[in-house]
Structure 1
Amino acid sequence: MQKSFLIVLAVAIIGALAIFQIAPDLNGAIAFFTGAIIASVIFSLQSKTPASTTNSNEPYSGPTMTLYVGNLPYRVHEGEVKALFGEFGPVNSVRLVRDRKTGRRKGFGFIEMSEAGAKKAMTKLNEFDFQERTLKVREAKSQDSDKSDNA
């Protein structure tokens, strides 16, 4: 939301300068508002077109990878984590682990997402500050490999 406002504001200012160059006798405020209206219309039309599969509600069907994410804030919601990791690729699921007795979150979870997106997310989000916590992002170990390691 904030990013879109800044984009519209920047385009409005550029539009106002362009309009002011075309019609220098036009008032600066009128040129700015005209630029803002044009920018808003362009931005709203652009945001209605389907840009990528990242925002799609359909699960990603290509190669996937599950990531372990540690040191999550205890009050974080699945949607916030999905939005954060969704910047790097399609996210199929977010599972934040809870304590069985208290129901409180334990501060870690698992994200299943596209393999390419997961690799990008690992490099960009490991040691990333998120809501005043430094995230630890790794590829999740499968439970099968844990059992064979302990045997």
Structure 2
Amino acid sequence: MQKSFLIALVAAAVGALLIFQFLPTLPSYLAFLLGTVLAVGVFTVIPANGNGDSPSNTEYTGPTMTLYVGNLPYRVHEGEVKALFAEFGPVSSVRLVRDRKTGRRKGFGFVEMAESGAQKAMTKLNDYNFQERTLKVREAKNQDNDSEKSDD
């Protein structure tokens, strides 16, 4: 939000300077106001993310699979992991596990993505060198099955 406001303010100022150059008899406050109106018009026409409704921004609704991703770098972010797995298919979510006490990442996480892409990702990214770490990619185990085994 704050970044958008600064961009709009700069666009309005630049617009005002350009208008003032072409119409020097126009008072500067009117040139700034006209520049502001033009900036608002531009931001209304151009989406804030710059992509519009591109297919990569739409949510995937088909069959999904959750992958366990181990040996991740501790400083990796969800966006970097999502970009890596998105090469193989639509990614629904990325969850990197953190320690509850310290808040630091534990070096593993889960990626939910399209089933067909998940199969390709498992094949290609298991034992893949990512930011100087060798990833381990497997199908995530179902938590319900794990809890049933421990109850027996």
TM-score by length of 1: 0.64
Distance in structure 1 (CA, Å) of the matches to 2:140 and 2:126? 13
In the alignment, which residue of structure 1 is the partner of 2:124? 124
Q: CA deviation at 1:100?
A: 0.5
Aligned residues: 101
Secondary structure of the residue aligned to 1:122 is helix
Q: Can you list the C-alpha shifts for 1:43-81, whole angstroms capped at 9, x where unaligned?
A: xxxxxx99x84xx22221000000000000000000000
In the alignment, which residue of structure 2 is the partner of 1:67? 67
Task: Please provide the CA RMSD for this pair.
Answer: 1.9
Q: Can you list the C-alpha shifts for 1:111-134, whole angstroms capped at 9, x where unaligned?
A: 000000000000000000000000
Secondary structure of the residue aligned to 1:109 is strand
Instruction: Find runs of 4+ consecutive structure 1 residues off by over 2 angstroms.
Output: none
Give the gaps of 5 or more residues in structure 2. 1-50
Distance in structure 2 (CA, Å) of the matches to 1:108 and 1:145? 20
Aligned residue identity for 2:57: N
Distance in structure 2 (CA, Å) of the matches to 1:95 and 1:83? 13
In the alignment, which residue of structure 2 is the partner of 1:80? 80
Distance in structure 2 (CA, Å) of the matches to 1:148 and 1:119? 26
In the alignment, which residue of structure 1 is the partner of 2:36? none
In the alignment, which residue of structure 2 is the partner of 1:143? 143
